[in-house]
């Protein structure tokens, strides 16, 4: 009898955890979110892990990595949120984080800046940096 109850409890717990995980990922964007000086802090506080791509329209390498950021946003839906910050239009945030070169990625975990890869890089290289912060 105890084994049967334990089995039922375990199954129910697994179902609840699966449901919570699915609900959680449904609320996460599956594409990069455009952020600005006003919305930046709310984004990094809303999600557990956020990668912000700091870019400018005139930056060739920024344009080259844009499709990669879009792919990663889809791949990591429910785990990582990707933001895009145009530094020309949002100089306050760029100054706050001392963005001197672009593209620069700001990686936030629990609202804290934990990494800042600078420059265009292959997708796998960025993925390995992000994986360091996945739970």
Q: Is 115 exposed, middle or buried (0-12, 13-18, 19+ CB in 10 A)?
A: middle
Query: What residues are annotated to the active site?
Result: 59, 62
- Calculate the alpha carbon distances from 45 to 39, 65, 129 in Å: 10, 25, 20
If phi > 0 it is left, if psi is from -120 to 50 it is alpha, else beta; for residue 119 that is left
């Amino acid at each position: 009898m105890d084994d049967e109850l334990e089995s039922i409890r375990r199954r129910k717990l697994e179902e609840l955890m699966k449901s919570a995980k699915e609900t959680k990922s449904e609320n996460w964007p599956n594409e990069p979110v455009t952020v600005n000086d006003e919305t930046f802090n709310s984004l990094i506080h809303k999600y557990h892990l956020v990668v912000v791509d700091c870019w400018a329209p005139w930056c060739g390498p920024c344009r080259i990595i844009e499709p990669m950021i879009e792919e990663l946003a889809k791949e990591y839906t429910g785990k990582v949120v990707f933001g895009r910050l145009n530094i020309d239009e949002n100089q306050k945030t760029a100054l706050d984080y001392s963005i001197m070169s672009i593209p620069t990625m700001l990686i936030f975990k629990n609202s804290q800046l934990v990494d800042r890869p600078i420059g265009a890089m292959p997708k796998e290289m960025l993925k390995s940096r992000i994986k360091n912060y996945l739970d």
